[in-house]
């Protein structure tokens, strides 16, 4: 299973209109999880069949610490509305682009493909697509809003205002940031189980689905056990 360690490294998956997910680095594989479990009594691999059986036992019985031995380092480009939810997973390590050092570009704004309606049975969620005469008008107004804010941002910079203050003119939740996000396999699975769920915000679900696509490629045994024992009826990305 050694060849799985570098599979999909630096493979970029496009997300939303201008974002992406990219696995930059990875430490460990399925066998590393098995060997971490066997270290309790100084054991090692006992062949593929027995190794996989042990990994499934660990997942089924929630023996989580061996899964913490595998780590992922992701590079993400996402609008702040997504990063705002990513930072809530405090078991991860995070370092982001700074608007104090790097000026924003005119295209660094998230433009949704459709407007969603407010869910009637969930105060924090959406449900269905808005399909009325106002939909296109609202989209045009959003783009106009971005353009106006960016023009003011540029004007502030041209007049000598510091980048850290000039960015106040930008539409905060819509601005794209690039960052590095490091997390172990156990906590990544917790993230995926929450953020691929139907009640998660649509935008972060797209990032979770992209991450899951890579996750199942590089940790196939773990992903199979995860699907069987943790995800239940959750709809998975194709």
Which residues belong to the active site?
Answer: 195
CB 169 within 8 A of CB 149: yes
**Apex CA 177: angle with CA 149 and CA 26, to 5°?**
175
Contacts of range 116-121, beta carbons closer than 8 Å, 24 or more positions apart:
116/202
Chain Cα centroid distance, residue 218: 16
To the nearest 10°, the Cα dihedral for 42, 44, 50, 52? 110
Residue of 177, 150, 146, 147 lying closest to 80 (CA atoms): 177
- Alpha-helical (H) ranges within 73-168 are 80-86, 134-158, 163-166
Q: Is 96 exposed, middle or buried (0-12, 13-18, 19+ CB in 10 A)?
A: middle
Q: Which two tokens stand for residue 35?
A: 């060997």
CB 206 within 8 A of CB 16: yes
């Amino acid at each position: 299973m050694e060849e799985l360690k570098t599979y999909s490294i630096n493979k970029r998956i496009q997300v939303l209109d201008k974002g992406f997910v990219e696995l930059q680095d990875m430490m460990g594989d399925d066998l590393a999880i098995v060997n971490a479990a066997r270290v309790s009594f100084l054991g090692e691999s006992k062949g593929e069949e027995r190794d996989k059986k042990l990994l499934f036992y660990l997942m089924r019985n929630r023996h989580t610490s061996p899964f913490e031995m595998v780590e992922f380092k992701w590079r993400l480009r996402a609008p702040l509305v997504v990063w705002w939810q990513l930072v809530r997973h405090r078991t991860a390590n995070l370092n982001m682009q700074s608007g104090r050092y790097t000026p924003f570009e005119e295209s660094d704004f998230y433009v949704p493909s459709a407007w969603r309606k407010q869910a009637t049975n969930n105060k924090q969620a959406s449900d269905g697509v808005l399909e009325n005469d106002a939909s296109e008008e609202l989209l045009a107004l959003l783009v106009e809003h971005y353009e106006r804010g960016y023009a003011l941002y540029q004007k502030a910079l041209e007049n000598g205002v510091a980048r850290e203050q000039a960015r106040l003119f930008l539409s905060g939740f819509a601005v794209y940031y690039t960052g590095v996000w490091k997390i172990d396999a156990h906590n990544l699975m917790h993230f995926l189980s929450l953020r691929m769920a139907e009640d998660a915000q649509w935008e972060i679900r797209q990032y979770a689905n992209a991450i899951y696509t890579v996750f199942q490629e590089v940790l196939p045994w773990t992903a199979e056990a995860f699907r069987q024992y943790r995800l239940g009826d959750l709809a998975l990305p194709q």
